[in-house]
Amino acid sequence: MSYVGEKTLTALPSLLSLDSQPGPAKLSSTSKLGNLIRGITELTSKHEEEKLIQRELESIKEQVSSPNTSMRQMKELMVRAIYCESLGYEASFVYIHAIKLAQQGTALEKRVGYLAVSLFLNESHELLLLLVNTVLKDLQSTNLIEVCMALTVVSQIFPKEMIPAILPLVEEKLNHPKEIIRRKAVLALYKFYLIAPNQVQHIHNKFRKALCDKDPGVMTASLHIYLQMIQENPEGYKDLTGSFVNILKQVVGGKLPIDFNYHSVPAPWLQIHLLRILSFLGKNDLRTSELIYEVLDESLRRAEMNRNITYAILYECVKCIYTIHPKSNLLEKAAKCIGNFVLSPDINLKYLGLKALTYVIQQDPKMALQHQMTIIECLDHPDLIIKRETLELLFRITNAQNVVVIVEKMLEFLQNSPDDYTTIDLVGKVAELAEKYAPDNEWFIETMNTVFSLGGDTMQPDIPNSFLKLLSEGFDSVEEDRKLRLFAVDSYVSLLQGETRKLPQCFLQVISWVLGEYSHLSEDHNRSTVLRLLEKLLDMKQTSSETKCWILMAMTKLCEGTAGVCVAQQVSETYISSMDTVLRQRAQELQHLSQDSELREEVLPRDSGLDPMEIDSSLSFLDEFVSGALAAGAAPYKPPHQRQEELAEAKVLSLEPYGLALPISMSSCSITDRHSPTPLSMSSGLSGDSTDVSHRAGLKLDGVQRVWGRDGYLAKKESVEEAAPVQGLTPVHSPSLQNEGDGSHSQTPTPTPTPEPDREKEQLASSLFFGVSSQSSVCLMGKPDSTFNRRRKAKVQAPGVTEQLSSSVAPVSNAVDNLLCNNLQDSNINSVSAASSKQTCELSPRVPAANGTCNTDCGLPESDRKRSNLSISRDNGLVDADSALSEDQGSRSDLCPSSYLPAELCGLYRSEIAPLCTAHSLELSACHVHQGDDMILIIFISNSSDSQVLQIRLDLKSEQLKVTCVSDSSVENIKSHTVAVYQYSLAVKRPGVDVEVDGTLSFLLPAGTPQTKHFSYKLPLTAFIRPLLISTEEYGTMWLGFSHEVKQNLTLVDDGCEPLTFTLNLLKNRLQLHLVEIIGLEGILACRLLQNQPCLMHCRVHAGALAVWLRSPVPELPDCLVYHCQRVLQEK
Amino acid sequence: MIKFLLMVNRQGQTRLSRYYQPVELTKRAALEADVVRFCLSRNKEQCSFVEYKDFRLIYRQYAALYIVVGVTDAENELSIYELVHNFVEVLDKYFSRVVSIMFNLDRVHIILDEIIQNGHIVETNKSRILAPLTALDKMADG
C-alpha cells in the first residue's frame, strides 16, 4: 500500500538535522534553546545530561528573577524551561513567571505564557487562581487573537470553582461573528461540561444552536459535548438522530469545503466522530437504528479501498453496524469489509481487522468461522502484538470443545510473555476458561498448576481463592469430588518431591492448604511423607512467613500418630519463638493440637467441607463480653471509618463509607478456620459475590453455562475421550470453509501455504473452531455422536430425567450441543427443536432461560411453548388484581384459574397467573400473592378432560426458599372440568437475584398408569422486599452493624429538575423501599427481606451518576438488590 | 481518548511531550523511557500499534524522529495513526522555508494545541490549525 503522504517526508530533513539556516522570525540552532538541544543530543550518559540541565536551570533561574529581563527574553527562557521539564527536570521556580508572561506579554509572548501555564500546572494547582484575572481581561479584549488565546487556555486548564466568573463572557462568545471564536467558546464550554457539568446545564439549548451553526468547525466542536452527553444518557437525545445523520450524509457526500479534506477524503475524523455518536444512539433501539441504516450504507459504498484513513472510517462503520440494531444486508457488507481487513498484507490493517473481529464475534460467533484460516495464520504471526490480539479473539469464542487447544496456545504465549501486565491478564483468562470449560480433572489441575507457576505472585489473588473454593465446596457427585481432590494431592506431592525452589509463594500456599485438607484421601502417600515434604518447604529460605503460616496450618491438620507428633513438636519448637506474631501463634496451635487429638477433631473436623460454615461476621458471640467491658467503663469501639468521619466532622449524613471495606487480611485471619480463604472473601462481600452477579446478569457473552463453579462440574466418563478436540478428521467438507478457500482467498492474493502445513492448520482450525459453528456447519467435525453434552447438569434438573436423557440423547445431541455452545438466537432454537424429538424439547427451553426469560416449561409440547414463554419474572411480575382478572376471563373461557383464587386472597397484590406445564388433561398454572408479610404461592391444577384424575400429589422443593404447605387438606382427586387450588407459603432461605421453586406433580391416569411431571416457578427477589420504616438515627446505628457491603454506580434518571429525588422515588416505588431521608446530594433508603432481614442503601450523586452503597447482615442481599436497582433504572 | 503525545529521537531523548491526563513529572521520565524502548525495538514490518499496560501506543517514524501517541483501548488506532501524519503535514506546511522544527518547540506546541485538546481531536483542517499561529507571526512582524 502506498501512502501519498509519506512523500512529504522527503521535504522534512529538517526534523532532525541540526545545521540549519536561521529564519526571519523563528528560532534556529544558533539560539540558546538550539545550543541546549544540540548539547543534550551530543551527550552520551544520563549523568552528563543531569549536570548540563542543572546548569541550564541555574542560569534560567538567575535570569527570570532579574528585573531587567524583557518579556521577549522571558519568552525564550520559558521555552527552555519547558524543554527542561519535558526531560523530567522540575523547574517549578518559573511557574509564577509563566503566569506573569501571560499577563504582561504581547502576542507570541503572551501565547507562550499561556502555553507554559497549561504545560506546567495541573488542574488543582493554587497558582492557577492568579490566571483568572488575566483570562477575564483577555476575554474582553478587542484583539481577537487575545480572545482566542484566552479561550484556548480555558478549554485546556481552568480552576473549577472560578467557572462562574467567566461563564457569561464565554457564553457571549457563542454569538461572535468570527467562527474561530465561536468554535473555541464551544470547546471551552465542553471543558466546563467535563469538569463541572452542573454549571453548564442551563445552556444546553445553546449547544443545539452550535450544532446547527453554519460553520462546519463550530458544528464539529459541539459534537464533543454531544458525544459525551449521549454516552451518558442516549435516551435524552434520540430526537437529534436525524440531524446527525444529515450532517454525516452531507460530509460523506462531499458538501464541505475542500480544505476539510485529508488525502481527498472529506473530514475523516468528523465522520468517525459522527459514527460513534450514531452507534450510541442506535444501540438497542430499532426505531433509531432505522434512521441510520441508509447513511451507513452510503459510507460503506463511498469509501474507496486505497487509503489508510478510509480504512479507519470503515472500521468505525463496522463497529457501528454491529452496535446498533442489526440489519442483515449491512451485516453482510460489514462482514465483507472485515474480510478485507484481516486478509490485507498491511499489518496495521490486519491488526485492526482482528480487533474488529473480536468485537464482532461477541454479537455473531459465526464470523470467527468464516475467517478461521486467517486467525490460525495470525496465531503463528512473528509479531507478538498480532498474536496477542488473536488470543484475545480466541478467548471470546472459547467453549467446552476447543478449550484445550486455546488454553494451550495461551500458555505457549505466556511462556515467552514479555511483560508482567500481559502475564497477569492472560493468566486470569486461562484460569477463567479452565474453571468454566475444563474437560476433565487431570487437565484442570495441570492447567491450574501451570497458571500458578507462571502467574506467580503477581496474579490476581482471586484466582487461588476461587480455585480453593471450587475444591472445597465440591460438586454434586461425591465421587467426582474425591477424584479431583485426590488428583490434586497426587499432583502436588509429586511436585514437592521435585525442585520446589522456583515455585511462587501463592502456589505453595495453595499446595499446603490442599495437602492439609485432603491428603488423607490418598492411599499412596501416608501422612508422614506429606509432613516431611511440608517440613522441607518450611526450611527453604525462599519461603515467606505468610506461606510458613499456611504450611504450619496444614501440618496441624495432618499430625497424627507418634511420627507426626514428633515432627510437629520439632517444627513448633523452631517457630514458637519466631519474631512474626502470626507465625508464633500458628506454632502454638500446632503444639497444642498435635498433643490433643480430641481437641483437634473438634477444632478442625474432617470431612466437613461440603456444608459451608456459617460465619458470624457481626461477632455476636462477643456481645456478652463487650457489654461486660462497657459496663466496666471501657470506651465503645468505633470502626476506623467512623473515627475518620468524626475527625472530618462531616455535617451531612455522616454515614459515608468511602473506602471502608474492612481490611480482612488473608494472612492474619483466614487460616484460622478450616475453610480458609474462600468463605471469608465471600463474607467480606466484595469480590466473590459481585462477580457472580455479573455472571447472572449475563454480562459474559458466552452462551455456555459455567461448567465449573458454584454448581460444580459433572464429568461424563465415556465422553471424556471423545471430547478431546484434536481429532484425526479434517473438516474440509465444511461448506463455510470451502467458501473461504474458493472465494475470498482467490480474490486477494495471499501467500498460499504448502499442502502439508495447510493440512495441519486445518486440523488446528477444526479444533479451535469446534462448537463455534452455526447450524449450517453441524457436520464440521463429521461425527455427530462425538459431542459431549455438558449442559445435562442444569440447575433445575429433576432426578429421573437425567437417565431418560442420556439414554436417548445420542441422535439429537449434536444439534442440541451446537445450540448450546452457540449464542444463537431464538429462530435457530425453534427450527432445531421443531425437527428434533421430545428430548430436545426438554432441553432447549433452557437456552432462553439463560437469557433471563422463562423456565417454567419443562417438557412442553411444541404447541404450548409459546404461551409459556411469557416471561413471568419481568418487572415485578405484579399486576393489579382486577385488571388481571378481566384479562384472564377474556382469554380463557371455561377453566379460568383466577376465578378459583381463594376468597381471602382476592383483591391482594398478586402476579399474573403463569402457566407451568401440562400433563395430559391437567394444566398447571401459578401466581404469587402478597399477603401482608407473607408470600403465598398458589398453584392451580385444572382438569379439562371428561374423566377424573386420581391420586394427585404435588411436591415442592427449593434450595433458595423455604416452602410450607398452607392448604387445609391436600386434594387428591380432581373431577372433570374443575380446578384444584394449592397454597404454599414461601420464605427466603438464600437470596438470589431470582428465586425458584422446583416441583413434581404425580398422578394416576384413568387407565391406572402412574405419571410424573416436573416444573419450576421463578419469581424475582423483589417480591420478598418490603419497606423498612426507620428513622435516620436508627439507620445510622444499623449501618455500622452490618458487614456485607456492595458499592456500585448506577445511572441517575433525570426528570429535569430533581434527578436524585426522582430516581430515589422511582426505586422506592418499584422495589418497595422506604425512603428515609434526602439531604442535599445524598439520600438513604431502607428495606427488609421477608421476614426480617434488613438492607440499607446509601446513595450519593457523584459526577452525574448515582453512587450507591448497600449494607446488610445477609451476604447475598446487597448484590441482589443492586442488580434489581440497576434493572429498574435501565428500564427507565 | 488520547492520553499523551511524544516526539522522541532515535537515542530515546524526548523532544516534546504533551500529556492529556495528569501524570506526575517524576513518573513521566520512566513512562517515556519504557514507551520509547518498546517502539524503538520494533522493526518496520511490525505493527505500528503496541499494547502497553492497559492502553495502546501508536507510533510513526519520520527519519530519525518518532512520534508516539498513547490512547485508551476504545480508540480507533488507524485514525490516530493518520492524525499523526496530518500533524506532520501541518508542521511541514508551516516550517517549509525554515528548517529546524525542534528548535521552535513553542510553535510546535501551539500547533498541537489546535489539533488536540483534552485528549480529543478538535481540528484537522490544516489552514484552520495554522490560522492562530500565522496571525501571531503577523502581529510580531507588523
Cα A11 to Cα A1079, B16, B91, B97, B128, distances in angstroms? 65, 21, 11, 10, 22
Average pLDDT over residues A803-832: 37
Sheet strands side by side (includes A950-957):
A950-957, A994-1004, A1010-1020
Quick check: B125 pLDDT over 70? yes
Could you tell me the pLDDT band of residue A856, with boundaries at 50, 70 and 90? very low
pLDDT of residue A606: 64
Q: pTM for the whole thing?
A: 0.60
Q: For A174-192, what is each residue's pLDDT tens digit?
A: 999 999 999 999 999 999 9
A916/chain B closest Cα distance in angstroms:
45
- b/e map B79-117, b = 16+ CB within 10 Å: bbbbbbbbbbbbbbebbeebbbbbbbbbbbbbbbbbbbb
List, in sequence order, every residue forming a beta bridge with A455; answer none if it has no partner. Answer: none
- Give A200's DSSP letter: G
pLDDT of residue A110: 92
Among the listed residues A10, A13, A59, the one whose alpha carbon sits nearest the alpha carbon of residue A35: A59
Q: How far is CA A339 from the centre of its chain?
A: 29
For residue A332, which phi and psi values (nearest 5 degrees)?
A: -60, -45
Cα A648 to Cα A48, A574, A1080, distances in angstroms? 48, 47, 18
Q: What span, in angstroms and rounded, lies between the C-alpha atoms of A618 and A627?
A: 15
Q: For A382-401, what is each residue's pLDDT tens digit?
A: 888 888 888 888 888 888 77
pLDDT of residue A915: 83
Cα A685 to Cα A699, A791, A1099, distances in angstroms? 20, 29, 18
Indicate the residue of B15, B47, B64 with minimum beta-carbon distance to A351: B47
Q: Which three cell numbers stand for residue B2?
A: 488520547
Q: Which three cell numbers stand for residue A229?
A: 452527553
Which residues in A lie closer than 8 A to residue B46 (C-beta atoms)?
347, 383, 385
Q: What residue of B is the nearest CA neighbor of A38?
A: B103
Q: For A555-610, what is each residue's pLDDT tens digit?
A: 888 777 677 778 888 888 888 888 888 888 888 888 888 777 777 777 776 655 54
Q: For A966-1021, what is each residue's pLDDT tens digit?
A: 765 566 778 778 888 888 888 888 888 888 888 888 887 767 777 888 888 888 88
| End-to-end C-alpha distance for chain B, whole angstroms | 39
Q: What span, in angstroms and rounded, lies between the C-alpha atoms of A594 and A573?
A: 12
Q: For A424-479, what is each residue's pLDDT tens digit?
A: 888 888 888 888 888 888 888 888 888 888 877 777 888 888 888 888 877 767 78
Give the type of residue at A92. Answer: S
Chain A residues 13-52 with CB within 8 Å of chain B: 13-18, 20-29, 31, 33-34, 37, 40-41
Could you tell me the pLDDT band of residue A138, with boundaries at 50, 70 and 90? very high
Instruction: Please check whether residue A798 is in contact with residue A1000, taking contact to mean a CB–CB distance below 8 angstroms.
Output: yes
List, in sequence order, every residue forming a beta bridge with A924; answer none if it has no partner. Answer: A917, A941
B22/chain A closest Cα distance in angstroms:
7
List, in sequence order, every residue forming a beta bridge with A949; answer none if it has no partner. Answer: A974
Q: Is B40 or A696 the better-scoring residue by pLDDT?
A: B40
Could you tell me the pLDDT band of residue A671, with boundaries at 50, 70 and 90? very low
Burial of A386 by CB count in 10 Å (0-12 exposed, 13-18 middle, 19+ buried)? buried
Which residues in A lie closer than 8 A to residue B62 (C-beta atoms)?
9, 12, 15
CB contact under 8 A, B82 and A180: no
Could you tell me the pLDDT band of residue A772, with boundaries at 50, 70 and 90? low
Quick check: A833 pLDDT over 90? no
Indicate the residue of A26, A145, A268 with minimum beta-carbon distance to B135: A145
pLDDT of residue A862: 41
Q: Which three cell numbers stand for residue A420?
A: 508482567
Burial of A212 by CB count in 10 Å (0-12 exposed, 13-18 middle, 19+ buried)? exposed
CB contact under 8 A, A26 and B47: no
Q: What span, in angstroms and rounded, lies between the C-alpha atoms of A73 and A33?
A: 12
CB atoms closer than 10 angstroms to residue A615: 15
Q: What span, in angstroms and rounded, lies between the C-alpha atoms of A723 and A114?
A: 67
pLDDT of residue A291: 92
Indicate the range of A266-280, A698-712, A962-976, A982-996 predicted with least confidence: A698-712
Indicate the residue of B17, B109, B136 with minimum beta-carbon distance to A145: B136
ipTM over 0.90: yes
B16/chain A closest Cα distance in angstroms:
6
Residue % of chain A over a pLDDT of 90: 14
Which residues in B lie closer than 8 A to residue A75 (C-beta atoms)?
106
DSSP string of A1046-1069, one letter each residue:
EEEEEEPPP-SS-HHHHHHHHHHH
- Give A938's DSSP letter: E
* Tally of CA atoms within 13 A in the half-sphere of A152 that contains its CB: 31
pLDDT of residue A5: 40
Instruction: Please check whether residue B95 is in contact with residue A14, taking contact to mean a CB–CB distance below 8 angstroms.
Output: yes
Q: What span, in angstroms and rounded, lies between the C-alpha atoms of A775 and A833?
A: 12
Q: What span, in angstroms and rounded, lies between the C-alpha atoms of A801 and A957?
A: 16
Q: Which of A246-250, A586-590, A708-712, B8-12 has the highest mean pLDDT?
A: A246-250
B51 contacts chain A (CB < 8 A) = yes
- Tell me how many degrees the CA angle A1073-A1079-A1080 measures, rounded to the nearest 5: 125
- Give A1106's DSSP letter: E
Residue % of chain A over a pLDDT of 70: 73
Q: Which three cell numbers stand for residue A943?
A: 382438569
CB atoms closer than 10 angstroms to residue A505: 16
- Tell me how many degrees the CA angle A1006-A1009-A1014 measures, rounded to the nearest 5: 100
Q: What span, in angstroms and rounded, lies between the C-alpha atoms of A516 and A489?
A: 9
- Give A743's DSSP letter: I
CB contact under 8 A, A347 and B45: yes
Cα A199 to Cα A131, A171, A192, A297, A822, distances in angstroms? 20, 12, 7, 39, 48
pLDDT of residue A705: 36
A602/chain B closest Cα distance in angstroms:
49
DSSP string of A243-308, one letter each residue:
HHHHHHHHHHTT-S-GGGEETTEESHHHHHHHHHHHHHHHBT-HHHHHHHHHHHHHHHHH--TT-H
Among the listed residues A613, A664, A615, the one whose alpha carbon sits nearest the alpha carbon of residue A472: A613
Instruction: Please check whether residue A891 is in contact with residue A914, taking contact to mean a CB–CB distance below 8 angstroms.
Output: no
- Give A794's DSSP letter: -
Domain boundaries, chain B: 2-141
Could you tell me the pLDDT band of residue A816, with boundaries at 50, 70 and 90? very low
B133/chain A closest Cα distance in angstroms:
8
Grouping H, G, I as helix, E, B as strand and the rest as coil, residue A1093 is: strand
Q: For B104-123, what is each residue's pLDDT tens digit?
A: 889 999 999 999 999 999 99
Quick check: A158 pLDDT over 50? yes
Q: For A1047-1068, what is each residue's pLDDT tens digit?
A: 888 888 877 778 888 888 888 8
Arithmetic mean of pLDDT over chain A: 73
pLDDT of residue B81: 95
B104/chain A closest Cα distance in angstroms:
6
Instruction: Please check whether residue A234 is in contact with residue A224, taking contact to mean a CB–CB distance below 8 angstroms.
Output: no
pLDDT of residue A725: 39
CB contact under 8 A, A85 and B25: yes
- CATH 3.30.450.60 matches B2-141: yes
Quick check: A739 pLDDT over 50? no
Instruction: Please check whether residue A38 is in contact with residue A27, taking contact to mean a CB–CB distance below 8 angstroms.
Output: no
Cα B118 to Cα A271, A316, A470, A536, A829, distances in angstroms? 20, 21, 46, 57, 48
Instruction: Please check whether residue A949 is in contact with residue A943, taking contact to mean a CB–CB distance below 8 angstroms.
Output: yes
CB contact under 8 A, B25 and A23: no
Chain B residues 54-83 with CB within 8 Å of chain A: 54, 62-65, 76-79, 81-83
* Tally of CA atoms within 13 A in the half-sphere of A707 that contains its CB: 29
Q: What residue of A is the nearest CA neighbor of B120?
A: A224
Q: Is A170 or A969 the better-scoring residue by pLDDT?
A: A170
| End-to-end C-alpha distance for chain A, whole angstroms | 49
Indicate the residue of B22, B26, B99 with minimum beta-carbon distance to A17: B99
CB contact under 8 A, B26 and A88: yes
CB atoms closer than 10 angstroms to residue A889: 12
Q: Is A869 or A209 the better-scoring residue by pLDDT?
A: A209
A112/chain B closest Cα distance in angstroms:
7
CB atoms closer than 10 angstroms to residue A380: 13
Q: What span, in angstroms and rounded, lies between the C-alpha atoms of B28 and A85?
A: 10
A561-575 and A545-558 helices, crossing angle to 10°? 150
Q: Is the peptide bond before A1091 cis (omega within 30 degrees of 0)?
A: yes
Indicate the range of A94-108, A616-630, A889-903, A967-981 predicted with least confidence: A889-903
Residue % of chain B over a pLDDT of 70: 96
pLDDT of residue A644: 66
Chain B residues 100-129 with CB within 8 Å of chain A: 100-107, 109-110, 113-114, 117-118, 120-128
- Tell me the helix, strand and coil percentages in chain B, rounded to 5: 45, 25, 30
Residue pairs spanning A and B at CB distance below 8 A: 227
